Amino acid sequence: MTVRFDLAGKLVIVTGASSGLGRAIALRLAMDEGADVIVAARRREKLAEIAREIRERSGRNAYPVAVDLATPDGPDALFLAARRLVAERRRAERAHAVTSPESGVFGLVNNAGITHYGETVGMDRGAIDSVLQINLSAAMHLSRLFLPLFVARDRGAILNITSLGAVLPVPYQAAYAASKHGLRAFTESLAAEVRGTGVVISSFGPGGIATEMIGSSGLGGRVGPGSVLLADPAVIAGKAIRHWKRGLVSGTTGLSPRIVSAAARLPVGWLIRRIAARLYKPQAPHLRQTPWDQSFAGDECLFGTEPTDWLRTAAAQIPTGRALCIGDGEGRTSVYLAQLGHDVSVADLTSYRFGSSRWDLIVSAFVHMSPSLRIDVHARMVEAIVPGGYLIHESFAPDQLNYRTGGPTRPEMLPGLERLKTEFAGLDFETALEVVRHIADGPSARGPGGCRKSAVVQIMARKPRPGLAPQPADRYSCRS
């Protein structure tokens, strides 16, 4: 038996409400359904704007709650914030001698979501964890927190926003598809558990929507804002709410998604998957845009045209051969090595196949990555060096946070010497230093004389040949 309900005067939480579909749902709930809304998302300023718009356009109450559902504590923080708001509403009602059975939270819309667009082999652990945490884990934990209150009152409703990716594979968005498959399965399982109560558990899977996520994920290069494949968020929001109010467990919208999801279960499903793979296949690296493109767009080289002093010193000790430069943005290291006589290639971190025992020299100069990506890349670098080949590495050290003269501001992206020695296990360290020195890096340099005082890690290591005992490093220093 389906349970129908109305939302007039009820309090509903919408996650991911600062933009896109979440924003559209929050507006529709207030303007069309007469609901009060708790709008939740990370961006405090955006939430204040949407809350103000809801109040002005609908006359309903709107409460912004800034929370980061990418963190494990995010769902608990939102639950507690909602409890505090409900307590304040009830105190206000008592002060005006009014009692309303609808002052508590009636509905929860789990809309917050992100995607990662690109080849799965290029995803680091952090990217996978973020997609699963926001799209699946947060929705499950919020449902777990609010459901006992709904069951105890024998009324309440949860709407989980899934996707067309909940019913068929989405190549190049594998983690996203897995999270949406999981959320749909969770919804249907939970609906069976509360069957016979007055609680409604629904999921709604729209097709493509013209939202910020399309642009921020890089999908805009494949499916542009004006594409016929992308629907208006306001239209989808209305359909999602109507589906939810009818008490339906799962559904989608539009003829195209229904046809595609049905076809995916037929013997021609392989054709749907092949078409999707072709549609979503990422552009060639030279066509993709990254945040660095804007930084490097000017005529002047941001970090100058000369390599660092450490690279010059280390490279002078190494015979020429096949060299690979990791993340050499403006090419200053690659050009210098080529001038020395090396046969040089440059690698994109996430998609390049480093190979095995392929390179006589690999250079990594101030390439800072998230820990999970860094561990993966460093392991592939070690594997790719030929026996007897070399690694030259320089990066900012943890103490760089005290100097503030460049580099990342997140401590986890600044590994120290001992950590890097662990990540480069399998190499013999001929030089391994953690020092403070002055760096001159073109127009970006700061400080007296165009130099900047910085804390760095410097490593020159060699891959041992079979049968040779490892050699100890000839120089070690924790700081100088």
Identify which of 139, 138, 61 has the alpha carbon closest to the alpha carbon of residue 103.
61
Query: How far is the C-alpha of 20 from the C-alpha of 26, rounded, in Å?
Result: 10
Residue 104 has, within 13 A of its CA and on its CB side, a CA count of 14
Residues facing 438 on adjacent strands: 453
Note whether 438 and 405 are within 8 A (CB).
no
Burial class, 45, CB count within 10 angstroms (exposed 0-12 / middle 13-18 / buried 19+): exposed
The CA distances from residue 206 to 19, 111, 342, 424, 435, in Å, are: 16, 12, 53, 45, 54
Is the separation of the CB atoms in 162 and 139 below 8 Å?
A: no
Q: How many CB atoms lie within 10 A of CB 411?
A: 10
How far is residue 68's CA from residue 130's CA, in Å, rounded to a whole number? 11
Beta partners for residue 202, in sequence order: 159
Classify burial at 446, counting beta carbons within 10 Å of its beta carbon; exposed 0-12, middle 13-18, buried 19 or more: middle
Cα–Cα distance for residue pair 67/62, rounded to 1 Å:
16
> Alpha carbon 176 to chain centroid distance?
11
Place of tokens 């939970």: 190
**Residue in 63, 176, 336, 352 annotated catalytic:** 176
176 catalytic? Reply is: yes
Residues 164, 169, 174, CA angle at the centre, nearest 5°?
Answer: 105
3-state secondary structure of 135: helix
* CA–CA gap between residue 253 and residue 108 (Å, rounded): 20
* Cα 46–chain centre separation: 19
Report how far residue 366's alpha carbon sits from residue 396's, in angstroms, rounded to the nearest whole number.
7
Which residues are identified as catalytic?
176
